[in-house]
């Protein structure tokens, strides 16, 4: 049900490990922080080839949000990507034509043959489409999550309410969650405790929504 990807030790800092979790340790893979080169992307894709797009995928900090593409590209039916994020992640890569980045991956998902639409912080999905849901916790204010990116003003209750409305009207094919702060990037005990609390609440909430 849960798939946990470790790049920066956020989840080990939090001692976060929901039941029925598959764990992948990519902390020694070079060329993955913010930008992912072709060699590293191939390695990640190979390691995750047995993981379905269904379930709840925890993909470490926002620096690794591009991993969403590796789950979305597995979807074999028409779908809509719904992204909750304080950033669009839809920018042009500033250098190199083949580099995937945490700020550009939405464009790659949009070009997938089965992706029919993508929405940012909205839930007005066409009625006939199921949804792949991607959440960056930086969409919430620091009262609910601490991340290494500038954050929005959404509350956890607001996020869960919007997702509940979405799930009431559409099949949720799969979910991924990123965002947080590792001790290596300055997380305090309070930061770690808050993020663990939010992650545990989201884990319980989201696992009930995935069909």
CATH code for position 88: 3.40.800.10
**Helix H or strand E encompassing 10:** helix 10-14
Per-residue model confidence (pLDDT) at position 146: 98
87 half-sphere exposure, CB direction, 13 A CA radius: 23
Q: Which two tokens stand for residue 65?
A: 């949000």
Q: Is the alpha carbon torsion for 74, 107, 26, 39 positive or negative?
A: positive
C-alpha distances out from residue 78 to 25, 81, 146, 181, Å: 31, 10, 34, 34
Tokens 């779908």 sit on residue: 79
Per-residue model confidence (pLDDT) at position 94: 61
Per-residue model confidence (pLDDT) at position 210: 87
Domain that holds residue 180: 2-207
Per-residue model confidence (pLDDT) at position 95: 59
Cβ atoms within 10 Å of 88's Cβ, excluding its own: 14
Q: What is the pTM of this model?
A: 0.95
Q: Which two tokens stand for residue 180?
A: 């947080």
Tokens 């609440």 sit on residue: 201
Q: Which two tokens stand for residue 58?
A: 């925890």
Q: Residue 209 CA to chain centroid, in angstroms?
A: 16
**Is the CB of residue 1 less than 8 Å from the CB of residue 206?**
no
Instruction: Report the chain (211 residues): mean pLDDT per 10 consecutive residues.
Output: 96 94 96 93 97 97 97 98 96 70 95 98 95 98 97 98 97 98 96 98 95 63
CA-nearest of 95, 26, 72 to 173 is: 72
Domain count of the chain?
A: 1
Per-residue model confidence (pLDDT) at position 191: 98
Q: How far from each other are the two terminal CA atoms of the chain, in whole angstroms?
A: 11
Per-residue model confidence (pLDDT) at position 92: 77
30 half-sphere exposure, CB direction, 13 A CA radius: 0
């Amino acid at each position: 049900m849960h798939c946990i990807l470790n790049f920066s030790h956020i989840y080990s800092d939090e001692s976060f490990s929901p039941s029925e979790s598959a764990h992948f340790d990519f902390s020694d893979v070079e060329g993955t922080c913010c930008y992912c080169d072709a060699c590293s992307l191939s390695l990640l894709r190979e390691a995750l080839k047995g993981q379905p797009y269904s379930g709840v995928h925890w993909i470490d900090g926002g620096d690794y949000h591009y991993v969403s593409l590796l789950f979305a590209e597995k979807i074999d039916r028409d779908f809509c990507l719904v992204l909750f994020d304080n950033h669009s992640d839809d920018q042009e890569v500033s250098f190199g034509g083949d580099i995937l980045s945490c700020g550009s991956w939405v464009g790659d998902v949009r070009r997938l043959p089965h992706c029919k639409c993508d929405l940012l912080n909205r839930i007005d999905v066409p009625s006939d489409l199921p949804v792949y849901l991607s959440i960056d916790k930086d969409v919430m204010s620091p009262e609910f999550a601490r991340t290494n990116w500038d954050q929005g003003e959404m509350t956890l209750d607001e996020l869960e309410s919007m997702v509940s409305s979405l799930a009431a009207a559409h099949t949720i094919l799969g979910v991924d969650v990123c965002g947080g702060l590792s001790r290596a990037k300055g997380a305090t005990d309070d930061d770690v405790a808050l993020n663990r609390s939010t992650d545990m609440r989201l884990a319980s909430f989201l696992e009930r929504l995935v069909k």
